Structure 1
Amino acid sequence: MTRSPSASLSVSARDGDEQAVRRLLQEDAAAHEPYLQQALRDASERGHLAVVETLLSAGVHADAAGDDARTALHVAARRGREAVVRCLLAAHAETEARTTQSGATPLLAACIGGSVAVVELLIRHGADVLAKNRWHWTALHLAAKEGHDALVGHLLETQHIEIDARHQVNRSPRSLSLQFVWLMDAEQAGATALHVASWFGHSRVVQLLVDAGANVHVAPENGLAPFQLACQAGHRQAALALMRAGADVNAVGSDGNSALHHACWTGQDEIVELLVEGGAELNYRNRDGSSPLHVACRFGHTAIVRQLIDARASVEIANSSGHTPLLIACYYRHPAIALLLLEAAADHSVTMTMPDMAMTQVTPLHLAAIGNHIDVVRLLLRLGADRDARQQDGITPLHHACRNGALATVKLLIEEGADVHATSANGCTCLHMAAMSEHLEIVELLLAGGCDVNALIDDDETPLHCACYTGNVAVIRMLLRAGGSIQPIAKTKLTPLHCVALHGRVDAGRLLLDLGASANVKSEGGETPLHFAVDRGHVDFVKLLLDAGAKPNETTDDGWTPLMFACQRGQAKIVELLRAAGARADMSSEERNTPLHAACCSGLLDVAQFLVAAGLDVDAALADGTVPLHGACYGGHLHVVEFLLGVSKKSIDGKAKDGYTPLLIALERGHKDVAVALLDAGAQMCDVESLQHIVASACESGDANAVQHVMDKSIVAADVVDALDVRRLLHLACESGSLPLVQLLLSKGLDVNGVFGEGIWA
């Protein structure tokens, strides 16, 4: 296969095939001319001196730059190609050329590569040893970052080198790299080469810099000193070198943390040992009052916790929120650490607040039960922790264990005498918790312990109700066998069957019906289980209830039938089931709502046709004055609109109590096809007063789309639109703060000066 000129030259240059490069240039120099500069950079990067010399002799400019303004000298210096660098410099390559993105010079690139010979060569040819990239990184910074100790030593011997020069930094809130100092805000003071070497753990570079007099105490604004960086990153040798140079082990960074805090945060066992031996203050509290032990407990560093305890760090010190290390360990579910703290005699009676779970007065035993940490629970109980300790809401550790399905913990708490009858402030028992969480074995255990199977939460839910919400048949059957009642609750009159109907639990519903639950029992608002199932769209449960004798025409206290619910929700399949079961179409609610109104709002054409055939009046109005046509127009259901108009046009211009006609509703909702159908059927064009009212309402709410639809001259007569008081509308739009709406109104050619010349208000 024949290669393109670019491919042939590129491959030859990268491979160092000088003869092939020369031959290609001799055969057709013009064809290869566009690719010569890239070939020079490729050859320079790979150190192919002969190819570089050939390309330069062919007239390729030594400073020809590619992407990011990178020259051949940049890439050769970066790769440490001394001979190529020498050749390019002889061809007068620019030593101060800078890349676009980082602003690097060839010397800075060479410092990344680490070649002392190349760096020395560039300096001899005038390269600025004090040059900085766009982040103020110097040659010394870059060499220190890469750990090039020989190069660092060479640079330190160079006259005028700035050993404590700072680069600019850009702060970034990223876990471990939070103190990655060259990612901090470029407007802030930066870090020195010693910071860089310390962070990366280049201990020999650190020693060179320290020996040369680098400041071991300096810290960037909003940053850390070199010693703190080395400790956070876990570089023991670098930290040790800095300690020997006088670094303060108890110095506090701008974030309020000591080096020991940082080592505990990142889990640096060896650093913690070094700091403890070096006299670090064990109980120093940072800005939120946390000690190093708090930090180690928070992040689960068990070995460090053991080190700190052995060093006599306080296990009782509380942070600003009043939380001790034990509470922190339990909250973040570190059971091994909790055991260590308890063995060190940490107070187990302390409490905490958990805002994320809206819980207060939470003890370590509560937390251990939540996490199912049975060893911690056992030790807490052995040490005398209150087994029935109550949160502010009355919840006990046993409640938590039951809710979380912690069977072993439940057994242990009960064996140790925990009260199985304990109730929360709202009456919730442990049995409620276990039932709603579907933990069969725990339910059985609690029932055996004598828990009240018919206890009430807020006077309206028994454990059986809770189980019915989830539909766990085994739990429901066990509660029923224990005497759980299927009868209505006195307060809400809700039955377990209502609960399973609400969530469509068919198997559970069948069980309740088989045991005699009434399919027609009513709740406090008059809803039957059928109302609940229809409202949620549970088709199979509706079938179950109808087969069990549920009455399809039962009404709620405000007159709603299951058929109305089905039509309102757009449940076509359920409508068919109800029709087959004898649901009446001629019933209406207190607001005079009928199934037809609901069907038209939901766009159920076949249902609407059935209901009209059954004798329902398409012009019957609700209490608010709306007829089925209003509802169909609101939803944009064109086929329903056309059907209704085909039956009767009596209400085509009918106004609801708010003044809306079907046409105005269609326009405001943006249903252009419906609006056209209404006009074609003889609907009267909107008058100026009505249109002004509608547009003003939309302007007040900042609804630009509604205004656009209503002022559409392709539908609404142009003379009506032109007669609108746009001046007033613009005031309302400005008041709403909607820029798109203001722009829309201004596009109508309004004179802004004329509008606002007399003041803000029209």
Structure 2
Amino acid sequence: MSKNNASLLEAARSGDIKRVQNFLSAGASPNVSDGDGTTALMFAANSGYTEIVRILIDSGANINYQRKSYGLTALMLACATNKLDIVRLLISKGADINSVNEDGSTALMIAALKGYSFIVQALVDAGANINLKDKDNDTALKLAVKQGHSAVVESLIKAQADVNIRDKDSETLLMLAAEKGYLGVIEALLTTNIDVNAQNNYGETALSIAVAAGYTSIVATLVNHNADVNIQDQDAETPLHIAVVEGFTEIVEVLLNGGADVNKRNKLGDTPLLVAALQGYSTIVKALIKQGADVEATNLQETPLTLATLQGNAETVKILLKNGANPNTQLQDGKTLLIEATKRNFKTITQELIAYGADINIQDGNSATALMWATSLGYFKVVEVLLEAGADINLKNRGGYTALMLAEFNNYPNILKILQAAGGE
């Protein structure tokens, strides 16, 4: 490289207009480039030296020359660094606005990815192809959606960009925005003819994705734009199922107000109430029941009350009982919920079941009562509750043992004492 050429590159890089003019006058090539193929024009465009860009172009610089590294042009570099005046200048001088680099990206894609809305608009106004795709199958609009650049999204939508493109998993732009939590982008997309209820390869919709991510405002926006609240994914999960699993109370309310079916079942056979009862989400349980959830819905012979009892969710148990759940529900082995509660030392649940009419003296397959179970396990407080409720002390199990005998056999003197005081034999 001649000394003049090297000096021109340095002058363009540093923004020295006078030296650029001098070296050009001295015979330096306006297309000189360094080892990476970066020309003087590229240096000036990247750094925002508008007058130097003008001088180099007027001196014959190749405006569409592509750098060896990544195939970038001066226009792409100006777009990447948000140099609007230079972008306009390059366009006016004939820059190829649809030229692509090694990744298949155009200047428009670069500006969209960065969120430079004014540059995007300048390129659109100049006739840029808005629906070109790069090697990742991304359009300028998709890149803007991915980054949450709502102003760019709006500009591209106005320019008639294709909003219904999908990826290999059939993900839509609306789904991408929902997953990221970009409310502004979603609002812009919803002004178009985009299919709000489109499903990907897994049966998910933008709504179900927003629900899973916990974006209440986005869920509400989608519901208000006619998103189907009862659509099911490949596991037959509705948005309501998903919200309940995650414990998103506010989203549950939004979905219920939007007409969600409270008794729909997933592939496992669970209703939202069964899931909520298992998780112990008492507020959600209450909301579901208020909307007509079946408190006696069963799956694998388990009811919401069964699940809540076995998990020790006392508040949920109380709500279910208050709303008509059967306190004498039996499990597959014949044990009642009262027996299961006593076996687990759940004093509060034992009290609630008794208060709502649980049969205190019912016997399981081995003729054991709740009192016998509590006694044999040494649960003094539960024994007290059962005695206060009038449990029959002298019933015998299949082996012929009474509760008092079990207390004596297991050496529980405190329990033995209160059983004797209650008349145990």
TM-score, length basis structure 1: 0.43
Contiguous gaps of at least 5 residues in structure 2: 400-409, 416-425
Counterpart in the other structure of 1:303: 217
State the alpha-carbon separation in 2 of the partners of residues 457 and 131 from structure 1.
84
CA contact (8 A) 2:276 2:284 kept: yes
Residue 368 of structure 1 contacts residue 374 of structure 1 at CA under 8 Å; is this kept in 2? yes
Determine whether 1:361 maps to 2:361. no
Q: Supply the distance in 2 between the matched residues of 1:458 and 1:290 (Cα, whole angstroms).
A: 49
What's 1:398 paired with? 305
SS at match of 1:283: coil
Structure 2 length normalisation: TM-score?
0.72
Aligned-residue offset at 1:207: 1.0
Of 132, 135, 148, which residue of structure 2 is paired with 1:234?
148
Structure 1 distance, partners of 2:22, 2:309, is 77
Match in the other structure for 1:131: 66
Counterpart in the other structure of 1:413: 320
Deviations 1:701-750 (A, max 9, x none): xxxxxxxxxxxxxxxxxxxxxxxxxxxxxxxxxxxxxxxxxxxxxxxxxx
Determine which of 81, 86, 98 is the counterpart of 1:151.
Answer: 86
Cα contact 1:455–1:463 (8 A) shared by 2: no
CA contact (8 A) 1:107 1:129 kept: no
- 1:138 aligned partner, one-letter code: T
Distance 1:317 1:132 in 2: 50
Distance 1:366 1:433, change over 3 A: farther
Q: Which of the two has higher C-alpha Rg?
A: 1
Counterpart Cα distance in 1 of 2:160 and 2:88 = 21
The CA distance in 2 between the partners of 1:457 and 1:135, in whole Å, is 77
Q: 1:452 to 1:243 in 2, by over 3 A?
A: same
How far apart are 1:217 and its partner, in Å? 1.3
Say whether the 8 Å CA contact 2:269–2:299 is kept in structure 1.
Answer: yes
Structure 2 counterpart of 1:310, which letter?
N
C-alpha contact (below 8 Å) 1:372/1:406 kept by paired residues: yes
One-letter amino acid matched to 1:365: L
* Residue 97 (str. 1) matches residue 34 (str. 2): yes
Contact residue 365 and residue 385 of structure 1 kept, 8 A: yes
- Cα distance in 2 between the residues matched to 1:275 and 1:140: 29
Report the Cα offset of residue 104 of structure 1. Answer: 6.1
1:227-284 Cα shifts (integer Å, max 9, x gaps) = 2332343333222221222213333345423332222222232333333233322222
Q: Does 1:422 align with 2:329?
A: yes
Equivalence for 2:381? 478
- Secondary structure of 2:142 counterpart: helix
Distance in 1 (alpha carbons) for counterparts of 2:371 and 2:83? 70
Residue deviations 1:108-139, cap 9 Å, x none? 55544333345456665957752236444433
Amino acid at match of 2:196: L
**Alpha-carbon separation, structure 1, partners of 2:340 and 2:41:** 70
Q: 1:480 to 1:407 in 2, by over 3 A?
A: closer
> How far does the alpha carbon of each residue in 1:617-643 deviate from its partner, in whole angstroms, 9 at most, with x for none?
xxxxxxxxxxxxxxxxxxxxxxxxxxx
Name the counterpart of 1:163.
97
Matched with 2:422 is none
Match of 1:380 in 2: 288
The root-mean-square deviation of aligned C-alpha atoms, in Å, is 4.7
Equivalences for 1:739-754 in 2 at 5 Å? none
Instruction: Give the conservation status (yes or no) of the 8 Å contact 1:85–1:118.
Output: no
Shift of the alpha carbon at 1:216?
A: 1.0
The amino acid that maps onto 1:201 is: G
Q: Which is worse superposed, 273-282 or 422-431?
A: 422-431
- Correspondences of 1:240-279 after superposition (within 5 Å): 240-279=154-193
Secondary structure of residue in 1 paired with 2:190: helix
Question: What CA distance in whole angstroms lies between the structure 1 residues aligned with 2:336 and 2:68?
Answer: 67
Letter in 2 for 1:380: L
- Which residue identity is paired with 2:298? R
SS at match of 1:341: helix
Q: Secondary structure at the match of 1:194?
A: helix
- Counterparts of 1:210-609 in structure 2 under 5 Å? 210-353=124-267, 360-392=268-300, 394-402=301-309, 405-425=312-332, 441-446=348-353, 450=358, 476-481=379-384, 482=386, 515=413
Q: Please give the alpha-carbon distance, in whole angstroms, between the structure 2 residues aligned to 1:431 and 1:84.
A: 94
Given that 2:345 and 2:374 are in contact with CA atoms closer than 8 Å, whether structure 1 keeps it comes out as: no
Distance 1:265 1:104, change over 3 A: farther
Aligned equivalents of 1:261 and 1:513: distance in 2? 64
The CA distance in 2 between the partners of 1:263 and 1:453, in whole Å, is: 58
Residue 225 of structure 1, CA deviation: 2.0
Cα deviations by residue, 1:324-375 (Å, 9 ceiling, x for unpaired):
222222233322122122222221111124xxxxxx2111112223444434
Indicate if the aligned counterparts of 1:202 and 1:238 stay in contact, CA closer than 8 A: yes
CA pair 291-158 structure 1, distance change in 2 beyond 3 A: same
Against the structure 1 CA distance between its residues 411 and 115, is the aligned structure 2 distance closer, same or farther, given a 3 Å change threshold?
farther
- CA deviation vs aligned residue, 1:661-708 (integer Å, no higher than 9, x gap): xxxxxxxxxxxxxxxxxxxxxxxxxxxxxxxxxxxxxxxxxxxxxxxx
Give per-residue Cα distances to partners, 1:186-223, cap 9 Å, x unaligned.
xxxx3222122223221111111112221111222443
- CA positional deviation for 1:166: 2.6
CA contact (8 A) 1:130 1:162 kept: no
Q: Report the AA paired with residue 410 of structure 1.
A: V
The Cα shift of 1:95 comes to 4.7
* Amino acid of the structure 2 residue aligned with 1:146: T
1:115 aligns with 2:49: yes
Matched letter for residue 83 of structure 2: H
Count of equivalent residues: 388
CA distance, structure 1, for counterparts of residue 52 and residue 282 of structure 2: 65
Query: Could you say what secondary structure the match of 1:346 adopts?
Result: coil
CA distance in 2, matches of 1:434, 1:224: 57
Separation in 1 of the partners of 2:278 and 2:46? 52
Q: Percent identity?
A: 26
Q: Any idea what SS the aligned residue of 2:269 has? A: strand
Question: Highest relative contact order (Cα 8 Å, sep 6+), 1 or 2?
Answer: 2
Range that drifts further, 252-261 or 411-420: 252-261
Render the CA deviation track for 1:462-498: whole Å, top value 9, x for unaligned: 99999999xxx9xx4334544899xxx999xxxxxxx
